[in-house]
């Protein structure tokens, strides 16, 4: 996608606008943005009027939050962009749905965003508006919150999980203040819907570097509140010559050894979920055994999948792979064997 052409085409429909958020971050990292978002000082009704005046159809599904969509022509194709009025957000205790107030300042709009690398804007001439030093954090490969992390996470606890996902996607180090705030507020993730969990977890597991996010989740005990059966694996010693690594490290390595398929990655994450519950020492006091852990693991997958509101197809496929992961014809067998 030629972002300059998209920007010019968008400005012909609605002006003034600036490109904002994750797409700016990705462009500065020479990555292809997944989508393109714009901001404007214009009120939503004014944006809608400009879109109609240009002979285009406005998409109003996000209108109550100040967002109007429009399909912008670039060459022979059309690309959906979202244009949002500068705004601030206020969250009431126990609510994840914000009260929106429109503002005239772009800096004020950027101040409500989660991380500094997502709180930048770009003008059509390429000038970067960066009130929170997101470019410096990009260069240093650091993920840091805009303002105080506790405030950002209180507004929306999902941002703790987003920190894990961005660490995996971008290969960035998570700032100590973000780690500490997540350690303190990890239980707040329970206020977030399972559907939103799944969106972030799927994206995290499908990155080239799932280790970064998973280690953050283990280290902050965020995992304990989301997938407590997996949280038990942290520093769990296997005491077995075939698997000498702590269980959480073994699990991460299995994930790294699998293809980037969502079902495979979930099966890798859950393949040894039954182990902490069946650890026994029989004839050799220095060697643990895990009888039927794959059978128990498959039962856990059934419960976890229903808890996370999986489709029946996902639940059945992942459960089957966990049940059979020790068989040589299993798609997980080689990944498991290599991750000793």
The pLDDT tens digits for 4-31 are 999 999 999 999 999 999 999 999 999 9
**How many CA atoms lie within 13 Å of 307's alpha carbon, on the beta-carbon side?**
13
Q: What is the pLDDT of residue 279?
A: 85
Give the closest residue to 44 by CA, choosing from 82, 72, 11. 82
Long-range Cβ contact pairs of 22-31 (< 8 A, separation 24 or more): 22/118, 24/120, 24/121, 24/122, 24/128, 25/117, 25/118, 25/120, 25/134, 25/138, 27/3, 27/122, 28/120, 28/128, 28/135, 28/138, 29/138, 29/170
Q: Fill in the DSSP letter of residue 291.
A: T
Tokens encoding 322: 């966990």
Burial class (CB in 10 A: 0-12, 13-18, 19+), 97: exposed
Whole-angstrom distance, CA of residue 173 vs CA of residue 167: 6
Question: What is the structure's pLDDT at 93?
Answer: 60
- Determine phi and psi for 151, rounding to 5 degrees: -65, -45
Compute mean pLDDT per 10 residues along the chain, 340 residues long, and list them: 90 96 95 92 96 95 87 90 89 64 92 96 95 97 97 95 97 97 98 95 97 98 97 89 86 96 97 91 73 93 95 96 94 87
CA–CA gap between residue 120 and residue 127 (Å, rounded) = 10
Comparing CA positions, the residue from 69, 63, 11 lying closest to residue 35 is 69
Q: What is the torsion angle, in degrees rounded to the nearest 10, for the CA atoms of residue 273, residue 274, residue 276 and residue 279?
A: -150
Question: Is residue 37 a contact partner of residue 27, using CB atoms and an 8 Å limit?
Answer: no
Cα separation, 307 vs 18, in Å, equals 40
* Rg (alpha carbons) of the chain, rounded to whole number: 23
Q: What is the pTM of this model?
A: 0.91
> What pLDDT is stored for residue 34 in this prediction?
85
User: What pLDDT, on the 0 to 100 scale, is given for residue 141?
Assistant: 97
Report the distance separating Cα 339 and Cα 128, nearest Å: 44
Say which DSSP state 119 is in.
S
**Structural domains for the chain:** 1-140 (3.30.460.10), 227-338 (1.10.3210.10)
CB 129 within 8 A of CB 18: yes
pLDDT of residue 88: 85
Q: What is the largest CA-CA distance in the chain?
A: 81
E strand or H helix at 190 = none
């Amino acid at each position: 996608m030629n972002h300059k052409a998209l920007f010019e085409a968008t400005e012909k429909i609605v002006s003034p606008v600036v490109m904002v958020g994750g797409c700016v971050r990705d462009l500065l990292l020479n990555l292809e943005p997944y989508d393109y978002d714009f901001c404007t000082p214009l009120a939503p009704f004014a944006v809608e009027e400009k879109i109609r005046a240009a002979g285009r159809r406005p998409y109003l599904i996000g209108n109550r939050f100040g967002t109007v969509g429009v399909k912008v022509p670039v060459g022979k194709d059309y690309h959906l962009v979202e244009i949002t009025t500068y705004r601030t957000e206020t969250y009431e205790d126990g609510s994840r749905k914000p009260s929106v107030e429109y503002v005239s300042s772009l800096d004020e709009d950027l101040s409500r965003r989660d991380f500094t690398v997502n709180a930048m804007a770009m003008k059509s001439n390429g000038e970067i508006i960066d009130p929170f030093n997101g470019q410096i954090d990009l260069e240093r490969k650091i993920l840091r919150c805009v303002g105080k992390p506790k405030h950002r996470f209180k507004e929306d606890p999902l941002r703790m999980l987003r920190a894990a996902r961005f660490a995996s996607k971008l290969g960035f180090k998570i700032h100590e203040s973000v780690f500490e705030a997540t350690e303190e507020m990890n239980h707040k993730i329970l206020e977030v819907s399972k559907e939103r969990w799944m969106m972030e977890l799927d994206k995290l597991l499908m990155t080239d570097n799932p280790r970064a996010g998973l280690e953050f989740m283990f280290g902050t005990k965020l995992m304990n509140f989301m997938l407590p059966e997996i949280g038990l694996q942290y520093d769990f010693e296997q005491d077995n010559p075939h698997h000498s690594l702590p269980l959480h490290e073994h699990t991460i390595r299995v994930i790294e050894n699998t293809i980037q398929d969502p079902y495979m990655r979930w099966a890798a994450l859950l393949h040894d979920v039954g182990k902490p519950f069946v650890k026994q020492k029989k004839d050799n006091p220095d060697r643990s055994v895990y009888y039927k852990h794959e059978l128990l693991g498959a039962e856990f997958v059934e419960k976890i999948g229903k808890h996370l509101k999986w489709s029946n197809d996902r639940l059945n496929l992942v459960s089957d792979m966990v049940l059979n992961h020790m068989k040589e014809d299993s798609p997980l067998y080689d990944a498991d064997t290599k991750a000793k």
